[in-house]
Structure 1
């Protein structure tokens, strides 16, 4: 009898130890995106490790530039996705993607200084077409889901990875869709606010932005910016990486069959 109790205690210890590991990540700047990333429980269908990759010292891809304005004031995510998909050979425009992206239908409400709204990893939050109504944007999970409809079995979710993986992808002809902020550097804490959503709390910033990373070298990262209409815009590499990390290391690309 004693041995069974001992075995049970060991089992419980291991069980809660595993829970402790899963809960450890909620700290520092990435708290808001930990809540985003934890919804992604499945392994990506394709991993970059499964693709034979080489990494160059520098690389730059000729990705078509598409501007979100004037039709989509909050549509940077779907506009960036249209650039990625068009580069992959898919004929699709930003307006079709704007119509098809999953939406979180939660209505905006503010009570006692607290905002109640949708979760951007459940679907697009708010009004994409106008600043006249409340809104924010969408994170990587619904974007990946939509991208899979156009490139079934070929989308790689790189969320949570290292920037070096992004460089490997670009080296091998695969640009990367990411979530960053419009300043392309670490934001101070006052730029964030906490929302209550049906999926739990999430810390958001109204400076959230999405671009397509098209290249890199030793000092800079290059990207197509759907908001400013700049092609292969360059930003200091470490600043760019820091902003991407703060927003949860969200990134997707596609498996290049060519």
Structure 2
């Protein structure tokens, strides 16, 4: 046999043998690695995208949470400002946010018109009782007025959601967090500082239906979430929703204002 032909044949044989014996082994090492990289890449991308979206949605909230804290935050509650139309309309504006979240198409001005009203003073110059109705003028500070407490507000809410309104006034704050746990934002009466007030900020009115303790710092907001240290509220006097306030101070002020709260049965 010609030497050139012999060595050419031998080379072809060696190449064939290496391919036959080693080729499958090489593929078995390299291909799974490539497949793993192909599968892992989308997972990492999705995870990063999820975190970015979460940060965008809760950019003002996440800084207040740790992984160890229990937290409830009801997403998608609309924020409505009481101003400029309703200088004293915090109660009905907060109610409008609650009802709109529940799918009821009603605005603050409609509720302001519908809320039961009583005079600031009657013919005998006796002041009205906010437990009986909205006292005085709801629209402007240029006329005498005060506000309204839980009873008339719950009655108004009942006309839109009959049988579903839960007035838990007078109960412990745990009932508020239980409503939040169930998915219902909670309407409350508070004061505008969201902290306990000194007794000098209060006065007692003698009304035809009993004495009532009032403060001109009276306010109403909608609670939309909580964790161990904070509450999250939609404040009708603020420009945006989901504002953070101290839970401890807020609870104390809420109790001071008569522990008034309304939610929706789920």
Alignment of 1:52-201 (within 5 A): 57-62=70-75, 63-107=77-121, 116-201=126-211
Q: Secondary structure at the match of 2:242?
A: strand
Residue 193 of structure 1 and its aligned partner are, at CA, apart by 1.1
CA distance in 2, matches of 1:231, 1:108: 38
2:257 is aligned, of 225, 247, 253, to: 247
Contact 2:120 2:145 in 1 (8 A): no
Per mean C-alpha deviation after superposition, the further-off stretch among 192-201 and 120-129 is: 192-201
1:207 — aligned with what? 217
Whether the 8 Å contact between 2:120 and 2:144 is mirrored in structure 1 is no
SS of the residue corresponding to residue 241 of structure 2 reads: strand
Residue in 2 aligned with 1:4? none
Kindly report structure 1 stretches of 4+ aligned residues shifted beyond 6 Å: none
Structure with greater helix share of residues: 2
TM-score, scaled relative to structure 1:
0.73
Instruction: Identify the match of residue 235 of structure 1 among 238, 245, 258.
Output: 245
Question: Can you list the C-alpha shifts for 1:201-256, whole angstroms capped at 9, x where unaligned?
Answer: 21100000000000001110110000123311111110010010000000000112
- 1:17-55 C-alpha deviation (Å, 9 max, x unpaired): xxxxxxxxxxxxxxxxxxxxxxxxxxxxxxxxxxxxxxx
Structure 1 position 105, deviation (Å): 2.8
Could you list the per-position Cα deviations for residues 52-76 of structure 1 after superposition, in whole angstroms to 9, with x for gaps in the alignment? xxxx921111310000000000000
Structure number, greater radius of gyration? 2
The residue number in structure 2 matching 1:29 is none
Q: Which residue of 2 aligns with 1:32?
A: none
Between 200-209 and 73-82, the greater mean CA deviation after superposition: 200-209
**TM-score, with structure 2 as normaliser:** 0.71
Shift of 1:172: 1.7
Identify the structure with the greater strand proportion.
1
CA separation of 1:108 and 1:134: change in aligned 2, threshold 3 A? farther
Offset at 1:107? 2.2
C-alpha distance after superposition, 1:85-111 (max 9, x if no partner): 00111110000000000012352699x
Q: Distance in 2 between matches of 1:192 and 1:94?
A: 28
**2: CA distance, partners of 1:106 / 1:206:** 13
Structure 2: distance between partners of 1:229 and 1:176? 19
Deviations 1:153-184 (A, max 9, x none): 00001111111221121122111000000000
Contact 1:58-1:171 within 8 A present in 2 as well: no
Name stretches of at least 5 consecutive residues in structure 1 with no aligned partner: 1-55
In 2, the alpha carbon distance for the partners of 1:91 and 1:216 equals 26
